[in-house]
Structure formats: C-alpha cells, structure tokens
Amino acid sequence: MLVFFVLALTLTREVAAYAAGERAVGPTIDSLLTGLGLILLITFVLRALLDAGGLFTSQTAERFLVVPLLTFALTPYLLVVAWYCRREVANIRRQVRLQV
C-alpha cells in the first residue's frame, strides 16, 4: 500500500511540473515524500533499538540479503542480453545497407 502511495505522489509531482498553473504543488509533494521517508527511517531505528536481538538473526539476514544477491546474480544475464541485442541491431543495419 505504501509503495502505491509513494508512486502516486511521485507521478503527481512529475505531472505537476508540466502543468502551467500548478507550481505550488511540487514543493508540497516534496515535503510529503521527505516526511514519509523520515517517518520510515525513525520507525526503523526505533524498532532496531527496541528489539536488537531480533535484528541480528539469520532470518533477518536472509530477508535483507536476498535483494542484493539477486541483483548481482542478474547482472551478468543483463550484460549478455545487452551484448546480444547490440549484435543483432548491428547485423540488421548491415543487412539493410546491403539491400539498399
């Protein structure tokens, strides 16, 4: 629910930047996003301080490390796909020049 709220605020901020008469909306949305970020940071710090034993468990480490590990595991695949796409585009350009 929170992700959709932040997404809606961010999209509203971007749309308001292009609206002619809505210049005051941008700083208000920035303030809301900043406040939300501070609330989340303070909540995390308080929960970590009040339950420090629950923070340093294997289950928490697994949940915390899954995203970075999957990101690093996906990076070589993305590099191979980018290389393959560049190669295919070059082949298509070469074929188009030969046919013209």
The whole-number pLDDT of residue 91 equals 92
The whole-number pLDDT of residue 21 equals 65
The whole-number pLDDT of residue 81 equals 96
Any idea where the domains of the chain sit in the sequence?
1-55, 57-100
Helices and strands per DSSP (H, E), number in the chain: 4, 0
Q: Which residues of the chain have pLDDT under 70?
A: 20-23, 99-100
The whole-number pLDDT of residue 28 equals 84
Judge whether 47 and 67 are in contact, CB under 8 Å.
no
The whole-number pLDDT of residue 11 equals 87
